[in-house]
Structure 1
């Protein structure tokens, strides 16, 4: 949560200014907010996939499980692949990379738990390996291909929108479970780390 609000949203604001300068046809149009629209698009896509998965009733589950699993996994493959690319554009400072690693490590653990909850044995058999490979492939892709800074901003915007819903849906404690004290401690600690970086 701290990573999204303290690092990603300010980064999108900065990237939007750069994007507007680099892509001249955006001047004076509704697309002047292109990266915010991209973030919204990421949120909408993630929410749509989540709704499809959560609205399967028990009678239909067997007939659609495989296709739905691969659609769900396909989105997370893209999500992790883009995060892998973004890792190559992070600060080269060891402390920055360490905080980035901790933030995304915890985020990936929550994603793993959520996917295992919905897809059970099929996720354990295929999904976890596919998603592990996706991060590595994204990282390798990011090291081989150099993107203009404004394109990196577009990728970050998409991930930010997806991550906002993902964090709220999967990582915040519900009203009846979880620890408010633990949540507040985690947010305060994470926010402090990102402010110090």
Structure 2
């Protein structure tokens, strides 16, 4: 494991353990924080995740006649959207119907799926050997994304999240590290994993990190989009990411 990946992993773990300490307490500052991080996350999806998914789709063509549609990995990404959206929908429905006991039980299911999500993200970082400046910008976007997701889970059931949930999510990062170090999957399998978590990440970014209209600070959101996109595109141009 590279030093870059190790530092990112430690940062991701600390984010899950301390996410709610990192969010500004005042409402205005909190809204600006989420608007800015939402801008970075949306930019990350469009300038990094989608191009990388396209690159992976081109790569799997070498596996011959099994992949001729030029959209197989996009379908896997769509499955990621479908599965995570379905789980969240079931949990929200139980909450709205005031089924408190059932909703708390289903919340555990949501925590477990996000633990798996974290594991796959961590595995992807290790297996793709994200290094140097690229690791910094990858870690920044994913780290802010983790903060938004963790904060949303905390707002649903703070007692469950603080007592056990945040540790499950941190263990997911550790499990991804372990798999990345000890398991050598085929390039095709790694592409499928990347596609699945890309779909899940796109859903989570649009669901968790884009503030509702009445809570959004558009100027701060725009600053996040423009700044992250400008820097990332410049680095792609000069370093051929």
Aligned to 2:156: 118
Query: Aligned in 2, Cα 1:158/1:92: closer, same or farther, shift over 3 Å?
Result: closer
How far has the Cα of 1:104 moved from its partner?
Answer: 1.1
| Partner residue, 1:11 | 52
Report the counterpart of residue 191 of structure 2 in structure 1: 153
Alignment of 1:1-197 (within 5 A): 1-22=42-63, 24-27=65-68, 32-56=70-94, 57=96, 59-62=98-101, 64-195=102-233, 196-197=235-236
Runs of 4+ with >4 A deviation: none
Give the whole-Å Cα distance in 1 for the aligned partners of 2:82 and 2:140.
26
What CA deviation, in whole Å up to 9, does each residue of 1:109-166 have, x standing for no partner? 0010111112220111100011011112102211211222222221111111111111
Question: Does 100-109 or 86-95 show the bigger shift?
Answer: 86-95
The structural deviation recorded for 1:47 is: 0.9
CA distance in 2, matches of 1:26, 1:110: 36
For this pair of structures, how many residues does the alignment match?
193
TM, length-normalised to structure 1: 0.90
For residues 23-67 of structure 1, what are the alpha-carbon distances to aligned partners after superposition, in whole Å with 9 as ceiling and x for unaligned? 53233xx6x5210001101011111111112112354112x1343
Q: Do the aligned residues in 1 keep the contact of 2:112 with 2:168 (CA within 8 Å)? A: no
Q: Give the CA RMSD over aligned residues.
A: 1.7
Residues 74-119 of structure 1, C-alpha deviations (whole Å, 9 max, x = no match): 1101110000101113445321111111111101100101111122
In the alignment, structure 2 segments of 5+ residues that lack a partner are 1-41, 237-241
